[in-house]
Amino acid sequence: MLEYSLLYPENTETRTAQKLDGMWRFAIDWNGEGKEESWQNGIPGRDTIPVPASFQDFYTDKNIREFTGDVWYEKDIFIPLSMKGERVYLRFGAATHRAVVYLNGEKAGEHEGGFLPFLVDITKMVRYGNKNKVVVSVNNELNETNIPCGMTITLSNGRKMSKPYFDFYNYSGLQRSVYLLSVSQIAIEDIDISYSVSDDKALIRYAIRTSGKAETLISLFDEEGEEAASAEGNSGTIELRTPHLWQVHNAYLYNFRVELRSGDNTLDVYELPIGIREVRIEGTKILLNNAPIYFKGFGKHEDSDIVGRGFNIGVMKRDFELMKWIGANSFRTSHYPYDEEIYREADREGFLIIDEVPAVGLFESLSNFLDAGTGKGAKSFFSKTTTPTLLNAHLKALEEMIVRDKNHPSVIAWSLLNEPESTDDNSLPYFEKLFSRARDLDPQQRPRTFAMEVSSSPERCKCYHLSDFIALNRYYGWYILGGYEIGEAEKKFREEMERWKALSLNKPFIFSEYGADTLSSEHKLPSVMWTQEYQIEVFEMLHRVFDSYDFVRGEQAWAFADFQTTEGLMRVNGNKKGIFTRQRQPKDIAFVLKKRWENLPLDYKGNL
């Protein structure tokens, strides 16, 4: 069952976590014959490629960049004799979108879904004290039975091509770190923690899952390394007087140490950084530690030059510095769960995360962003024969996301879909299953939502009542009535808001996307669309509307930075709605947002 443990890989006195990042051998399976030709025993050619990274942007050949099918990776790893008797795993941070893993020519495991980790148990296959050959085939085809949705077509020359129903490039490969893990036979598999906080006290409820019988010892250390509390047993409640709470931009992390023992022997030790905080919704307020908060921030992407969607620790650092500079306090992991390092950094920096499962493109359209943005009706997506398989994949990804991320203090809400078709009767049963599964899986019972496009209107959407807070993606002034008609856009936007208001939902609303494509090279006075001046006008208009409604409790601009998309008439080498360029330099709008966000208190509208 440990395959199911998605605890972050740590070295402790009983565990080894060895990163296998670096150059791996690499081959493209142009004719889909790798398996037949036994590439699992060793891949052909002499090419090598960095891991983690997307494979697409290194090469100068467009056929490689656009390649759709299987790519193969290979690495020889030495597994020491000292690991014999342990349980040994390979852990992939992500393999986009599906992978088959071989060890020494034998199939060791497989995984579907490209943005969450998985473990492959190799204990019985390893040649201990020897080199072992790891080969992985990674497939990046899109379909309607897994998330994110899209299709794969075949061109007349026989080559396949990806057609995403979403607005980001179909980057793929081994985009996150790979680890060799070893743990003892009786090990800690999972940790659930939840909190209740009041002024001078916190209750920390915990439950530990183990792979065998052992005594469980818990110690809680503060940031000075002093033991603040201790407990025994696989589950229980720790009461902590005058706790240091985890707050926005003022994060305090305790170290929750779990030790499994049998008599005098230590069987396993795992240390989890935790932040004591409570998230709750009360009427139209979102409360953190019983105080109202207002979201300021972004929808983001994992996207940068050269490595594509590959995790880049330098880009991560820069992004957090920019978010702090601009006065942001939050982001949504649009449109997939990000690398685990990003959550750990958010835990340390005190950022709030709306964690999104990779459910994007559940709205059949090759220019989803345009059809969705303008409210052009979509066909019923959920009545298809493919839907049950899609739902299973979606539930599995949701489960993996919650299991992986549930202990991050930064994660304060789950987003279960982005811009799905939600106006057809068939959507409701599909959504209900997601919402109830999220509730069942999360020990902290965090708020759940989904990001709604404009045709999910108060009149037509069948599912918004399921959301604990309403998240709207709105493009008034861009897809709807842009340019000189911006005044009409404001009017139409206010009309929509009045219709929401009339429902008296008594729930918080946030804007999970709003923005305008803007080329960092373009200026014009008076403005025209695509210039930096126009981006500012759109934001000022939208902010005026947000400020007019008390139940609007947050704004997350689209997007943090320009990012790569599929090429097409609507995209100039990518989506240019960034507040920053893809190279992480500010557009003029960044200074406008900085001024606004630095002046909006965390509890903005909190007394309303």
Residues forming the site for ligand BDP (CB under 6 A): 166-167, 335, 369, 372-373, 418-419, 453, 473, 513, 558, 575, 577
Is 513 tagged catalytic? yes
Nearest approach, Cβ of residue 356 and ligand BDP (Å): 10
Q: List CB contacts of 304: < 8 A, sequence separation 6 or more.
A: 312, 315, 582
What are the C-alpha distances in Å from 548 to residues 344, 348, 393, 497, 537?
35, 34, 40, 10, 17
What are the C-alpha distances in Å from 219 to residues 194, 210, 239, 252, 415?
16, 17, 12, 17, 33
* Alpha-carbon gap, residue 213 to 216, rounded angstroms: 9
* Alpha-carbon gap, residue 309 to 176, rounded angstroms: 9
Alpha-carbon 30 to chain mean position: 31
* Alpha-carbon gap, residue 370 to 355, rounded angstroms: 24
Phi, psi of 586 (to 5 degrees): -75, 140
Catalytic residue from among 189, 513, 537, 555 = 513
* Alpha-carbon gap, residue 419 to 241, rounded angstroms: 43
* Alpha-carbon gap, residue 441 to 408, rounded angstroms: 15
* Alpha-carbon gap, residue 123 to 89, rounded angstroms: 7
The DSSP bridge pattern shows strands 552-558 and 509-513 to be parallel
Structure tokens at 63: 């056929």
Q: List CB contacts of 158: < 8 A, sequence separation 6 or more.
A: none
Is there a contact between 510 and 295 (Cβ–Cβ < 8 Å)? Answer: yes
Residue whose C-alpha is closest to residue 54's, from 95, 88, 105: 95
- Closest to ligand BDP by CB, 190 or 453: 453
Q: List CB contacts of 239: < 8 A, sequence separation 6 or more.
A: 201, 202, 203, 204, 229
Nearest approach, Cβ of residue 430 and ligand BDP (Å): 19
What is the DSSP-derived secondary structure letter of residue 153? E
* Alpha-carbon gap, residue 191 to 54, rounded angstroms: 31
Rg of the chain taking only CA atoms, in angstroms: 24
- Closest to ligand BDP by CB, 50 or 574: 574
Output helix, strand, coil percentages for the chain, rounded to the nearest 5. 20, 35, 45
* Alpha-carbon gap, residue 138 to 140, rounded angstroms: 7
Is there a contact between 113 and 397 (Cβ–Cβ < 8 Å)? Answer: yes
Other Cβ atoms less than 10 A from the Cβ of 158: the count is: 8
Amino acid at 108: A
Question: Angle at Cα 427 formed by Cα 421 and Cα 430, nearest 5°?
Answer: 120
Is there a contact between 26 and 49 (Cβ–Cβ < 8 Å)? Answer: yes
Residue whose C-alpha is closest to residue 166's, from 363, 455, 401: 363
Q: Return the H-helix or E-strand segment holding 170.
A: none
Is there a contact between 240 and 201 (Cβ–Cβ < 8 Å)? Answer: yes
Place of tokens 């992480």: 584
Active site residues: 419, 513
